[in-house]
């Protein structure tokens, strides 16, 4: 298995306003290689996410870090879409366990010490089901219909 790697630079804009603390939008495609999936994952420009949603009770031992932001963006994309598209636009579904493992490997690939990435991964396994379920409910909602006059 090849190690995870970052194939493009991360270019994001902080678009947080009002009550939001973190909200980012990709300015360009963000492309990574995942050894866990043995695949190239491309998060498209325009994707919006909050980076790391670490519960307050965990932040004393796992505060948000710049080193894990890249992994969090890919993780958010995998959770929201339940998979990724390959270069030929074929869709590849992922499980929650796979998405969490990709986050873990990308944290370590970026240089986060193993003990920190292990804590983050453990927290995801414990409480990530809520975000996974919330994203599933969001996906199930029909798109609003707009009528042009």
Q: Which pTM value belongs to this model? A: 0.83
What's the whole-number mean pLDDT along residues 21-31?
Answer: 90
61-84 pLDDT per residue, tens: 777 667 788 999 999 999 999 999
**14: which strand partners?**
24
Q: Of 36-50, 59-73, 102-116, where does mean pLDDT reach its minimum?
A: 59-73
**102: which strand partners?**
none
Count CB atoms within 10 A of the CB of residue 48.
13
């Amino acid at each position: 298995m090849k190690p995870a790697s970052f194939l493009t630079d991360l270019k994001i804009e902080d678009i947080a306003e009002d009550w939001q603390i973190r909200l980012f939008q990709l300015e360009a495609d963000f492309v990574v290689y995942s050894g866990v999936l043995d695949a190239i994952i491309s998060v498209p420009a325009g994707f919006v996410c909050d980076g790391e949603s670490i519960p307050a009770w965990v932040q004393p031992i796992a505060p948000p870090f710049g080193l894990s932001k890249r992994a969090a963006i890919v993780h958010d994309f995998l959770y929201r879409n339940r998979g990724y598209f390959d270069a030929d636009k074929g869709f590849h579904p992922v499980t929650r366990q796979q998405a969490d493992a990709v986050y873990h490997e990308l944290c370590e690939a970026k240089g986060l010490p193993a003990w920190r990435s292990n804590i983050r991964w453990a927290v995801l396994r414990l409480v990530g089901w809520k975000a996974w379920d919330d994203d599933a409910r969001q996906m199930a909602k029909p798109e609003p219909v707009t009528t042009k006059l």
